[in-house]
Amino acid sequence: MNLTVGQIAEILNGEVAGDPNILILGISSLEDAQCDSVSFLANPKYEQHLYNTHAAAVIVGVDFVPKQSTKTVLIRVNDPYLSFTALQAEYQRLTILKKTGIEAPVHLGTDFSHSDGLYLGAFAYIGDHVTIGKNVKIHPQVHIGDHCTIGDHTIIYPGAKIYERTIIGAYCNIQAGAVIGSHGFGFAPKPDGSYQNIPQTGNVELGNHVDIGANTTIDCATLGTTRIEDGVKIDNLVQIAHNVEIGKHTVIAAQTGISGSAKVGKHVMIGGQVGTVGHIHIADHTKVGARSGVTKSTKSDQILFGVPAMDRHGYLKSYAIYKKLPELMACIQELEQKILNLTPNSPK
């Protein structure tokens, strides 16, 4: 990052105890720190690491009093954790976002319009009639199809592929290898048992502040729009099928699949490796446990688990007994014998 301890303290509105001229190149935890790193101590239970760290400087609370002598410079701030997170964000701004300009070669289609602060990495492909907002960073080898629109401050990482007519909002982050707008799974059976492709002519729209994970795939709508609303966070290797709608501030963990035309509400939390069938509606504020399979529409505020998904508490109670099924079986056989013994004229 190439900042002195003094410059970091200034960014964080903190005070330096030690030499403010030491140059800091990286950020790390107390344990992993190298001699040119800055680290932080927020949780008192890690205090011992402070006395062994190699960090050049450590961000600590304004009232922190070391119990032993330390070799590192201290930067005193009101809230060490928040300050450290702010410093990380600054670090990202300085590294990821510092690039501007258009590298060569790139492909620029006709009618390309963009604003200030654009970075366009080498081997990026911009189709025709593309409009890009302010301060957008498009990394190398990205593909943007014809008639796409990309909002301000959005970052698209290397090799992500955006199909034609996709609309992406502001402040989105799209990780490497993500595919947005692919032609989804739509086939009509023919009398001979083969399948006829159904043309997929819709598009995808992402709202603002949407994050899409690496190698995640989002299919375009068959007709109309596959819609991901503001603030949605989608992890790696997730599959979003055609015509799905995901409501605001919903989070979806890795390797989950949402089938065609499912509507997911707002503020939903979906764990990893979950699947849903198509055409259902998952209500606002639903929580779906990892690896569940949701087969029916849900009511608000449910917590689901299992395949097919049921109430989480019930699932785990049943699973506790599932583990004991062999004992249960033995118990039933014993009861059968006892009843036989009680029954008059039964063979003893």
Residues 31-50 that bind a copy of itself (CB under 8 A): 31-32
Residue 133 in the binding site for a copy of itself (CB under 8 A): no
Any residues with CB less than 8 A from the CB of 145 and at least 6 apart, and which?
A: 127, 162, 163, 164, 165, 166, 181
Residue 28 in the binding site for a copy of itself (CB under 8 A): yes
Give the SS3 label for residue 244.
coil
Q: Which of 242, 267, 279, 281 is catalytic?
A: 242
Q: How far apart are CA 57 and CA 28, in angstroms?
A: 11
240 near 259, Cβ under 8 Å? no
Q: Which two tokens stand for residue 224?
A: 């109309």
Can you tell me which of 254, 280, 283, 303 binds a copy of itself, judged by CB under 8 A?
254
Q: How far apart are CA 312 and CA 289, in angstroms?
A: 8
Residue 332 in the binding site for a copy of itself (CB under 8 A): yes
Can you tell me which of 163, 168, 246, 288 binds a copy of itself, judged by CB under 8 A?
163
Give the SS3 label for residue 53.
coil
Q: Which two tokens stand for residue 333?
A: 């056989």
Residue 293 in the binding site for a copy of itself (CB under 8 A): yes
Burial class (CB in 10 A: 0-12, 13-18, 19+), 141: middle
Q: Given the structure tokens 């935890």, which residue do they identify?
A: 29
153 has catalytic annotation:
no
240 near 205, Cβ under 8 Å? no
Residue 343 in the binding site for a copy of itself (CB under 8 A): yes
Which of residues 197 and 300 has its CB atom nearest to a copy of itself in the complex? Answer: 197
Residue 169 in the binding site for a copy of itself (CB under 8 A): no
Residue 202 in the binding site for a copy of itself (CB under 8 A): yes
Residue 95 in the binding site for a copy of itself (CB under 8 A): yes
Can you tell me which of 49, 287, 291, 312 binds a copy of itself, judged by CB under 8 A?
291
Can you tell me which of 5, 139, 167, 288 binds a copy of itself, judged by CB under 8 A?
139
Can you tell me which of 47, 140, 149, 302 binds a copy of itself, judged by CB under 8 A?
140
Q: Given the structure tokens 């639903």, which residue do they identify?
A: 286
Compute the least distance from the CB of residue 301 to a copy of itself, in Å.
13
The residue range among 10-18, 44-52, 269-277, 296-304 that interacts with a copy of itself, by the rule CB under 8 A, is: 269-277
Residue 62 in the binding site for a copy of itself (CB under 8 A): no
Can you tell me which of 46, 149, 257, 283 binds a copy of itself, judged by CB under 8 A?
257
Site for a copy of itself in 297-326 (CB under 8 A): 307-308, 310, 314, 317-319, 321-326
Compute the least distance from the CB of residue 222 to a copy of itself, in Å.
8
Compute the least distance from the CB of residue 23 to a copy of itself, in Å.
16
Q: How far apart are CA 29 and CA 328, in angstroms?
A: 50
Site for a copy of itself in 214-253 (CB under 8 A): 214-215, 217, 219, 223-225, 231, 233, 235-237, 239, 241, 248-249, 251, 253
Q: How far apart are CA 201 and CA 27, in angstroms?
A: 46
Transcribe 157-205 into DSSP letters: -TT-EE-TT-EE-SS-EE-TT-EEEE----EEEPTTS-EEEPP---EEE
Active site members: 242
